[in-house]
Homo-oligomer: A and B are copies of this chain.
Amino acid sequence: MPSYKAPVEEILFLLRDVFPIQRYNNLPGFAEATPDVVEAIVSEAGKLCEETLQPLNQPGDRAGCVRGKDGSVATPRGFKEAYRAYVEGGWVGLAADPDYGGQGLPFTLAAIVNEFACSANMAFALYPGLSQGALAALLTHGTDAQKKMFVPKLISGDWSATMNLTESHCGTDLGLLKTKAVPNGDGSYALFGEKIFISAGEHDLAENIVHLVLARIEGAPAGVKGISMFVVPKILIEADGSPGPANKVTCGAIEHKMGIHANATCVMDYDGAKGWLVGEPHKGLNAMFVMMNEARLGIAIQGLALSEVAYQNAAAYAKERLQGRALPGPKYPEKPADPIIVHPDVRRNLMTIRAFNEAARALIIWTALKSDIAHRSSDKTEVQAAADSLGLLTPVLKGVLTDMGFDNTVKAQQILGGHGYIEEWGMEQFVRDARIAMIYEGANGIQALDLVGRKLPKDGGRAMMGFLGEVKSFIKDNEADASLAPYLLGLQQALAHLEQATMWFMQNAIANPENAGAGSYDYMHLFGLVALGYMWVQIANAAIASKAAGNGDAAAMEAKLLRAKYFMERIMPETSAHLARISAGAETMMALPAAQF
């Protein structure tokens, strides 16, 4: 039976020593987030996730969701009570607008709670998690009446939400979608069509489900310019806000999938379901993108979350499992064998995972703070810079954290040997659950294209220049510090590779966009390594300061410095391979005729 302990101390170190959130006290909601409040919230969230959500994770995987003949869906035993506890704790609306019942605390804190919840029970966390994107879309594009009708109930968690994009013949290419919206003449529309892969499309946790649906208004132009967004409640709402009759949207089937069995992935049938336009007609994609950016950061968090819980269980096993002897001779001669943590190759796997986890967590907080600034600051320059970083880093985090997170669950599973392959030990579930994060909310290849094709050239490369400038400033500000030099060196080399790769695109991809496509995936990962390395030098900096001040756990700080060194020695060398692959260009791969694949 796997276990989970929320990394509360890690979070407090990051918010106190690495990115002191007190610096942002000028932003709405941050002044309330005093150190005491932050500690109380993080601890309380950790406790809920450890005690309530985690014990349901393995049984939930085994039981899965069950669809009744009437199209209703039952979640696994215990999920209803857990959802109730989650909602009553106010966790759904932690960072939401107080005007609609939210607590208005920093989004950064919500991102942290999301990590804990996904580590404890990813399939569960998806149910409330999906409301975040819907809230963003409705608050940005909804009418006042729509906001009033849907937002408070979503923030309270009484209702949940879904995103309905994919149809069987189109996922990435939404321009092909066929779901139709016919005006009813009363301002509402009747929706007809079938959507697939709808996470949390139907379930028994919330009183109502608010579907945000992409569809084409009858007579709309073909392609992406004819897509509109609609809000379609599962249960219609009367004028007084009370529940009305069921809408004509039903779950046609539950998909049988590799993992996240406890989350209902539904085929949704729209058979004249009543919906209301959100935002302008034919501009549904813009509205949906608001939702997707929020969601993508949430998926990146899943990558870290599963890497973290897999690490914890693998490390515990490595410290307990007695097998063989240390290479230079027995370390525990009184025992029948040494624990496998004595073996360099076991340590290599564990340190690789953890060197990722700590930097990824820092990167998520760094990015979430940018999001808070972008959404809450009144300083336009600051908002623009933060929004630039957020937009640029979102595909990097989604793609890199989910790829590396998945790889790490595989590495952690390997440490358990044969036990890792057996369901009972829980490691293989982490692998199966983590796998979806690389696919949904835009497969990672699409993230790479978004980065290289859209985010990089946007505004003349302003966001990229901003990011490079920030990293270079940090290096410059600290290059005189000899204690930081070993870490800075690795970052500098990686940064040089990133700049060379960027230059290569400028020289080669404008004439031939396939050169950008061919290098996009490696570029995304190269970028990710630089971003993670930038986090490590900041963590190392804080650890050195903490040690010098003598105000923390010196052994823990020393361990961080070793992991920072490990990251530079063992993970950063990959940047040169990425650069070599990017520089190879598209020629060879495009020369092969399709028939030869």
Contacts of A555 in B (CB 8 A): 593, 595-596
Taking CB atoms, residues of chain B closer than 8 Å to A318 are 597
Given contacts A448-B345, A589-B348, contact A257 B597 (CB under 8 A): no
Give min CB distance, A161 to chain B, whole Å.
19
Contact of A573 (CB < 8 Å), options: B173, B319, B413, B576: B576
Which segment, of A22-30, A115-123, A295-303, A336-344, faces chain B? A336-344
Contact A327/B516 with A171-B418, A418-B440 known, Cβ cut-off 8 Å: yes
Q: A417 near B: Cβ within 8 Å?
A: yes
Which segment, of A240-248, A386-394, A457-465, A561-569, faces chain B? A561-569
* Pair A581/B573 contact, Cβ less than 8 Å: yes
Q: Is A95 an interface residue (CB 8 A)?
A: no
Q: Which segment of A140-148, A228-236, A421-429 sits at the interface?
A: A421-429
Question: For the complex, is A586 an interface residue (Cβ under 8 Å from B)?
Answer: yes
Residues of B with C-beta under 8 A to A594: 319, 339, 341-342
C-alpha gap A518/B327 in the complex (Å)? 11
Whether A512 sits at the interface, judged by CB under 8 Å, is: yes
Closest chain B residue to A337, Cβ basis: B173
Compute how far the CA of A337 lies from the CA of B167 in the bound complex, rounded to whole angstroms.
15
Q: Which of A37-45, A47-55, A362-370, A431-439 contacts B (4 or more CB under 8 A)?
A: A431-439
Q: Contact check: which of B172, B319, B432, B566 meets A258 at CB < 8 Å?
A: B432
Contact B428 A258 (CB under 8 A): yes
Is A158 engaged at the interface, CB distance under 8 Å to the other chain?
no
Q: Which A138-171 residues have C-beta < 8 A from chain B?
A: 166, 169-171
C-alpha spacing A566/B597, complex, angstroms: 13
Dominant secondary structure of chain A at its interface with chain B: helix
A518-B348 in contact (CB<8A): yes
Which residue of B342, B435, B595, B597 is within 8 Å of A421 (Cβ)? Answer: B435
- In the assembled complex, A420 has its CB within 8 A of some CB on chain B: yes
Is A176 among interface residues, defined by CB-CB distance under 8 A?
yes
Structural contact, A569 and B581, CB atoms closer than 8 A? yes
Nearest residue, chain B, Cβ from A518: B344
Residue A283 interfacial (CB < 8 Å): no
Q: How far is the CA of A581 from the CA of B570 in the complex (A)?
A: 5
Provided the pairs A323-B176, A348-B518, A350-B597 are in contact, do residues A418 and B439 lie with their beta carbons within 8 angstroms?
A: yes
Interface check A225, CB cutoff 8 A: no
**Closest B residue to A170 using CB positions:** B323
Q: Which residues of B contact A342 (CB under 8 A)?
A: 594
Q: Any chain B CB within 8 A of the CB of A577?
A: yes
Q: Is the CB of A345 within 8 A of B418?
A: no
**Is there an interface contact between A597 and B354, defined as CB atoms closer than 8 Å?**
yes
Residues 242-285 of A, flagged 1 when their CB comes within 8 A of B and 0 if not, give 00000000000001111100000000000000000000000000
Given A344-B514, A590-B347, A421–B596 Cβ distance below 8 Å? no
> Does B258 contact A173, Cβ atoms closer than 8 Å?
no
CA distance A590 to B424 in the complex (A): 31
Closest to A590 in B: B344
On chain B, the residues within 8 Å of A257 by CB distance are 421-423, 428
CB <8 Å contact, B597 and A341: yes
Complex Cα–Cα for A467 and B569 (A):
30
A176 to B323, CA, bound (A): 8
Known: A259-B421, A327-B517, A348-B589. 13 other contacts (CB 8 A): A166-B418, A176-B337, A257-B422, A327-B453, A328-B512, A346-B445, A347-B590, A347-B597, A418-B440, A428-B435, A569-B584, A570-B588, A576-B577
Binding site for B on A (CB under 8 A): 166, 169-173, 175-176, 196-197, 255-259, 315, 318-319, 322-324, 327-328, 336-337, 339, 341-351, 354, 406, 410, 413-414, 417-418, 420-424, 428, 431-432, 435-436, 438-440, 443-445, 448-449, 453, 512-514, 516-518, 520-521, 555-556, 559, 562-563, 565-566, 569-570, 573-574, 576-577, 580-581, 584, 586, 588-597
Lowest 4 A-B CB distances belong to which pairs?
Answer: A344-B517, A573-B580, A258-B428, A559-B596
